[in-house]
């Protein structure tokens, strides 16, 4: 951000408050494409990335798939079946807001829809 002349305390505070670059017009698209959060990656891509590593690893590669709060039972089933078909050995899912206390919170809203 500094190299591109975009850095400011106000912008950093705005990003911290929101918890993502999504929807912040001051940040160019090329930067937004690089700095995504786990919640911005579609669940099937979490599995596809894990499978790519698992293919070359004898031990289990463990991965948590982050789901939005609106995820359904069918969404979870789809991810587990894909993980099985692709040979993943260690998959965990986490549905945002499913527990009273959680390690990762996104911005001030704290719940992904």
d(CA 87, CA 66): 19
pLDDT band, very low/low/confident/very high, at 55 (cuts 50, 70, 90) = very high
Chain segment 56-105, per-residue pLDDT in tens: 999 999 999 999 889 999 999 999 999 999 999 999 999 888 877 666 55
Stronger pLDDT, 36 or 105, i.e. the higher one: 36
The answer to whether the beta carbons of residues 79 and 43 sit under 8 Å apart is: yes
| Rg of the chain taking only CA atoms, in angstroms | 17
User: In this model, does residue 113 exceed pLDDT 50?
Assistant: no
The answer to whether the beta carbons of residues 72 and 78 sit under 8 Å apart is: no
d(CA 17, CA 21): 10
**Would the pTM of this model clear 0.85, i.e. be above it?**
no
């Amino acid at each position: 951000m500094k190299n591109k002349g975009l850095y400011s305390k106000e912008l950093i505070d705005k990003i911290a408050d929101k918890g993502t670059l999504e929807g912040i017009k001051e940040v160019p698209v090329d930067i937004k494409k690089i700095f995504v959060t786990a919640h911005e990656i579609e669940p099937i891509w979490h599995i596809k990335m894990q499978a790519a590593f698992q293919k070359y690893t004898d031990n289990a590669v463990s991965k948590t798939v982050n789901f939005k709060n609106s995820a359904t039972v069918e969404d979870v089933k789809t991810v587990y079946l894909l993980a099985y078909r692709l040979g993943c050995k260690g998959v965990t899912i986490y549905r945002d807001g499913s527990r009273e206390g959680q390690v990762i919170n996104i911005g001030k809203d704290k719940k992904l829809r």
